[in-house]
Amino acid sequence: MNNVKHRLPMIAGAISLSLLAAACGSSTKSTATTTVAAGTATTSAGGTATTSAGTTAATTAGGATTAATGTTTGAGATTAATGTTAAGGSSAPVDVSKLSASLNASGSTFVGAFVTAAIDDFGAKAKGVKITYGGGGSGKGRQDLADQLVDFAGSDGTIADADKAKFKGGDVLYFPVIVAPITMSYNLSGVTKLQLSPATIAKIFQAKITNWNDPAIAADNSGTTLPAKPIVVAVRSDSSGTTSNFTTFLDKSEGTGGDGTWTLKTGSTVTWPAGVQAGNGNSGVAQIIKSTDGAIGYVDYSDAKAAGLTFASVKNKAGKFVEASLDGATAAATATTVKDNLTFNLAWADGDASYPIAAQTWILVYKNQTDKAKGEATKAFINFLLTDEQAKAASLDYAALPKDLDAKAIAQLDKIVIPA
């Protein structure tokens, strides 16, 4: 089940791409240095860095007219499906070919394939903007933004209240860009179909279940022959939004929201039991699982498919075993409550069809920009992610935002203040 190769090679912890010329080639994931055809991008091991030679601003495929000047344009209707923003007619389209800036960003590896593809596509629309996206995990992205080392950050988790004062640039805006499942990927010879309940997962990751033929796993998998083999648990070594969302699922289902089975709480980093194997980035965890018979770990859907991993169905809040899928993530997103600042969490969502370990990614950006050219380019790129690139999400193994949420995110672009 779900042992499908992804279209893109795998992203390592910090990937580096440089757009050498405007072209229409696709971005890649790789654990080795790769040069993309037509000079579009170069990917090197150790990170997730993407560089574009251009960007697009408010005018999108559907005729979007989101201002790139920081001017508030009103609360007009937004059609997210086409990328069209009608804001009372007070915003003028921006000629993206005239934008010029160099942007640096870092953060989530969960969203890496989507962002790198967007930067590549973005470069075909304007040649004056260079964007470099370095991975390193959501925690690194948030810290880099706090220290004003980057112009925007990718993050699968929100900023802790205690950390908000550390952000030197002031207030931060959240722009959701995609949703996707976090898989329970495993490598177990002879077992191609596996079901796991949250209680069983919690015990595996706390080393309370250490062998595959444990009665708890057998109870989840009636009729399946399980080998008497030690379980190798694979986790993230870096500060990770994927870890945060995975542990939030366990805490909601079996911890503070359940019977207390889960005791490790939640966070971007967790003190795991001795004996786990840790990998850098989602691709690092995927590699451990792929190369280790008896391994299990949490890996984002895109990287799991890129690595050709097999993943288990997980019992959801409604009591249904649900396979990781884009439809399951969309169902969770549809059922969730979104706050006014566009933050939310998809873990342990209501609904029969909801996959219980779904997650989300935001682009984080300072509300008050200090550089006009960079501010315009940043706003333009976020607009592109929310409009044109949404149509490409499924082909990269992500689910596009629900239309109403996408519309709210597009409307929020007007909150970005750009100096004259």
Residue found under tokens 């007219």: 65
CA atoms within 13 A on the CB side of 191: 26
CB 317, CB 335: distance < 8 Å: no
E strand residue ranges, 208-282: 232-236, 277-279
Task: Please give the pLDDT value at position 93.
Answer: 65
CB 115, CB 133: distance < 8 Å: yes
Domains and CATH numbers, the chain: 34-177+367-415 (3.40.190.10), 181-335 (3.40.190.10)
Residue found under tokens 């722009």: 175
DSSP state of 96: G
DSSP string covering 184-209, please? EEEE-TT----EE-HHHHHHHHTTS-
CB 361, CB 84: distance < 8 Å: no
Q: In the sheet where 195-196 sits, what is the strand order?
A: 195-196, 313-315, 321-322
Q: For 295-338, where are the alpha helices, taking DSSP H only?
A: 301-306, 326-335
> Would you write out the chain's pLDDT as a tens digit for each of its 420 residues?
444 333 333 333 333 333 333 333 333 333 322 222 333 333 333 343 444 433 333 333 333 333 333 333 333 333 333 333 333 233 456 787 889 999 999 999 999 999 999 999 988 887 899 999 999 999 999 999 999 999 999 999 999 999 999 999 999 999 999 999 999 999 999 999 999 999 999 999 999 999 999 999 999 999 999 999 999 999 999 999 999 999 999 999 999 999 999 999 999 999 999 999 999 999 999 999 999 999 999 999 999 999 999 999 999 999 999 999 999 999 999 999 999 999 999 999 999 999 999 999 999 999 999 999 999 999 999 999 999 999 999 999 999 999 999 999 999 999 999 999
Task: Please give the pLDDT value at position 123.
Answer: 85
* Six token digits for residue 35: 């040069």
* Six token digits for residue 17: 């791409």
